[in-house]
Amino acid sequence: MTHLPKRVSITEVGLRDGLQIEPRILSTEEKLSLARALIDAGHTSLEVTSFVSPTRVPQLADAAELLAALRGTPGVELKALVPNVRGAERAIAAQADVLVFVLSATDSHGARNLNRSPLESLSELRGIVAQALAAGIRIDASISVAFGCPFEGDVPVERVIGLASDVQQLGISRVTFCDTTGMATPRHVQALAQALRDKMPDVDPAFHIHNTRGLGLVCVLVALQKGITRFESSVGGLGGCPFAPNAAGNVCTEDMVYMFHEMGIETGLHLDRLLEAAHLAERLVGHRLEGQVLKSGPRLSLRGHDA
Amino acid sequence: MTHLPKRVSITEVGLRDGLQIEPRILSTEEKLSLARALIDAGHTSLEVTSFVSPTRVPQLADAAELLAALRGTPGVELKALVPNVRGAERAIAAQADVLVFVLSATDSHGARNLNRSPLESLSELRGIVAQALAAGIRIDASISVAFGCPFEGDVPVERVIGLASDVQQLGISRVTFCDTTGMATPRHVQALAQALRDKMPDVDPAFHIHNTRGLGLVCVLVALQKGITRFESSVGGLGGCPFAPNAAGNVCTEDMVYMFHEMGIETGLHLDRLLEAAHLAERLVGHRLEGQVLKSGPRLSLRGHDA
């Protein structure tokens, strides 16, 4: 395992991607306590909310209030999803640091999940880019079902790269490739990472992997071996898979950080404090989360010499 | 991911390592139904039971009956753990195909778990090897806490290799290296696999990895990348970790097989039938198991085009 990157950066998505599937609506104060615990653990990039319709996702109805409360935390980048031009206006007014726009790689998933085809999403994105530019705010893009679509099956790498290229031509350089329903495998991860290196050297990619079929950290490792250094994950593994109610969702931040640290790769995060944040997340949502280190503790803290 | 092995072999340990921690005692008939489902899924190597004291592990009190019922299944190797000379006598009388003797890599774990030091285990093993030789039955060895000890912490690779060498000198060529409490990390796996290749080319190693801290399949992948081709795992991830009650135990067979197949690596197993066996295991033990593919289905079967 020579030639691995020495450092990775992680965007914590638990507050948005994790919470949005949770039935218990957290108060803004509760979300703030979790956000502060995550920042205290060293996080400098948080996807905090989404400016979707509050009737569609009641959990995120306090998007502006949450951003206002967190605004101005030194050295911390607050990201907000914007589904459309209207959401972007609200996010800009709320002074998000970064807007994130999601496009689907397939027509079927786009129609069902975003109510838009990839082409229609690109058109909407064009308007948002103009808004962001005028406001002096960065905008990143996320491509859903980049490693497979639950409706269409395999998604050709060429299609994903083509969409990323369209996005890049709108002036966006940071693109997240999302394993929306946990269909990524080592081969898919390798193929996409290789294509990105070969064909899109100017894009700064992040991989957002799910653990729905148990391969979450395997795919992260394979991505790392192919030079990917930006990842998205969720505290405690918060968030599930809407298509498979009992399955895991996002890769768990602490488990991923545990893996990186045990490989000598820096994350800038404190594992012990991440575990505290994950325990807090469990209390807030009212049920156990998927994180494994959360249940067992780090490897050298399991039993003392006198246990 | 060039130069990966084209094929791996898997020993299913759910019936022994998985069941022994379960509170509900399964009937011999129930165990047989699970064993048959596993064989139907293509398994040719099963660790079926242990000839421990029935008062110590009541779940495995039917060791001889289970072996008798499974005996003579064509092409299937039935393995039985033997803790001592007395257990070996019973396993030989019950016509196990392979005896497995467990040694601990550390004094602390050996004293607490086996009531023996590594040196005392070697002495006991010497007697069992003589018995097995006389009976014409193969004997394999398993080394516990080979990737870390919950009492002593890191276990030097040299110590593990030294013990494996002592075992080999007794005439044993197949040695399983066990991640007993889930302390293996990519670095530990790499270091041991490399040392085995460099220093013990005549030993045929198997890796028995746990998923206690979420790195189970990561460690399997890293082992594979270092040329390890024999693995042990448990249907559904059956079996936990006695030190961390809610944590995962053995690597889940179906999840591992899913990973291998998606990488184009042959296992000789049918994933769909493995999933049926895992569902059966869940019904028999009366609770959900850790396997992820069990909850979500394989990647291309999640949603049809018309879903």
Nearest in space to A77 (alpha carbons), one of A48, A109, A107: A48
Identify all chain B residues contacting A194, using CB atoms and an 8 Å cutoff: none
Q: What is the largest CA-CA distance in chain A?
A: 64
How many residues does the structure list for chain A? 307
Tens digits of residue pLDDT in A216-245: 999 999 999 999 999 999 999 999 776 677
Q: Is the pLDDT of residue A304 over 60?
A: no
Determine, for residues A187 and B264 on separate chains, whether the beta-carbon distance falls below 8 Å. Answer: yes
Tens digits of residue pLDDT in B117-146: 999 999 999 999 999 999 999 999 999 999
Nearest to B218 among A148, A218, A299 (CB): A218
pLDDT, position B303: 52
Distance CA B49, CA B61 (A): 9
Determine, for residues B213 and A296 on separate chains, whether the beta-carbon distance falls below 8 Å. Answer: yes
Complex-level ipTM beyond the 0.90 threshold: yes
Tell me whether A252 touches chain B (CB under 8 Å): yes
Tens digits of residue pLDDT in A114-170: 999 999 999 999 999 999 999 999 999 999 999 999 999 999 999 999 999 999 999
How many residues does the structure list for chain B? 307
Determine, for residues B222 and A217 on separate chains, whether the beta-carbon distance falls below 8 Å. Answer: no
Distance CA A33, CA B243 (A): 31
Q: Across chain B, what does the average pLDDT equal? A: 94
- With contact defined as beta carbons under 8 Å apart, do A60 and A41 qualify? no
User: Residue B243 has what DSSP assignment?
Assistant: T
Q: List the catalytic residues of A.
A: 241
pLDDT, position B305: 36
Tell me whether A287 touches chain B (CB under 8 Å): no
φ, ψ dihedrals at B6, nearest 5°: -85, -20
Q: Is the dihedral of CA A290, A292, A295, A298 positive or negative?
A: negative
Walk me through the domains of chain B, giving residue ranges and CATH numbers.
10-297 (3.20.20.70)
Distance CA B119, CA A184 (A): 46
Tell me whether A213 touches chain B (CB under 8 Å): yes
Distance CA B256, CA B274 (A): 11
Identify all chain B residues contacting A255, using CB atoms and an 8 Å cutoff: 213-215
pLDDT, position B307: 30
Tell me whether A251 touches chain B (CB under 8 Å): no
Distance CA B90, CA A139 (A): 70
Determine, for residues A1 and B222 on separate chains, whether the beta-carbon distance falls below 8 Å. Answer: yes
Q: What is the largest CA-CA distance in chain B?
A: 64
DSSP per-residue letters across B113-140 = IISS-HHHHHHHHHHHHHHHHHHT-EEE
| Whole-Å CA distances, B176 to A306, B102, B267 | 28, 9, 18
Nearest to A150 among B212, B262, B302 (CB): B302
Nearest in space to B70 (alpha carbons), one of B17, B100, B41, B31: B31
pLDDT, position B247: 78
Tell me whether B152 touches chain A (CB under 8 Å): yes
A 218-247 near B (Cβ less than 8 A): 218, 221-222, 241, 243-244, 246-247
Q: Is the pLDDT of residue A95 over 90?
A: yes
Determine, for residues B292 and A247 on separate chains, whether the beta-carbon distance falls below 8 Å. Answer: yes
**Crossing angle of helices A216-225/B216-225, nearest 10°?**
40
Tell me whether B111 touches chain A (CB under 8 Å): no
pLDDT, position B306: 34
Nearest to B299 among A148, A255, A305 (CB): A148
Distance CA B196, CA A74 (A): 49
Q: CA of B295: which chain A residue's CA is closest?
A: A247
Tens digits of residue pLDDT in A164-192: 999 999 999 999 999 999 999 999 999 99
Report the gap between the CA of A269 and the closest CA in chain B (Å): 18
Report the gap between the CA of A134 and the closest CA in chain B (Å): 41
Q: Across chain A, what does the average pLDDT equal? A: 94
Identify all chain B residues contacting A305, using CB atoms and an 8 Å cutoff: 108, 151-152
Question: Poorest-confidence range of A72-76, A210-214, B34-38?
Answer: A72-76
* pLDDT band for position A306 (cuts 50, 70, 90): very low
Tokens representing B253 are 């067979």
Determine, for residues A241 and B296 on separate chains, whether the beta-carbon distance falls below 8 Å. Answer: yes
The number of C-beta contacts closer than 8 angstroms across A and B is 151
Written as one letter, the residue type at B13 is: V
pLDDT, position B304: 43
Name the helix (H) or strand (E) containing B98.
Answer: strand B98-104
Tell me whether A187 touches chain B (CB under 8 Å): yes
Determine, for residues A291 and B190 on separate chains, whether the beta-carbon distance falls below 8 Å. Answer: no
Nearest to B296 among A217, A247, A288 (CB): A247
Determine, for residues B292 and A154 on separate chains, whether the beta-carbon distance falls below 8 Å. Answer: no
User: Residue B188 has what DSSP assignment?
Assistant: H
Identify all chain B residues contacting A150, using CB atoms and an 8 Å cutoff: 302-303, 307
A 122-141 near B (Cβ less than 8 A): none
SS3 content of chain A, % helix, strand, coil (to 5): 45, 20, 35
Overall average pLDDT of the B191-218 stretch: 97
Overall average pLDDT of the B229-256 stretch: 89
Determine, for residues A215 and B217 on separate chains, whether the beta-carbon distance falls below 8 Å. Answer: yes
Q: CA of A299: which chain B residue's CA is closest?
A: B183
Q: What percent of chain B has pLDDT over 90?
A: 90
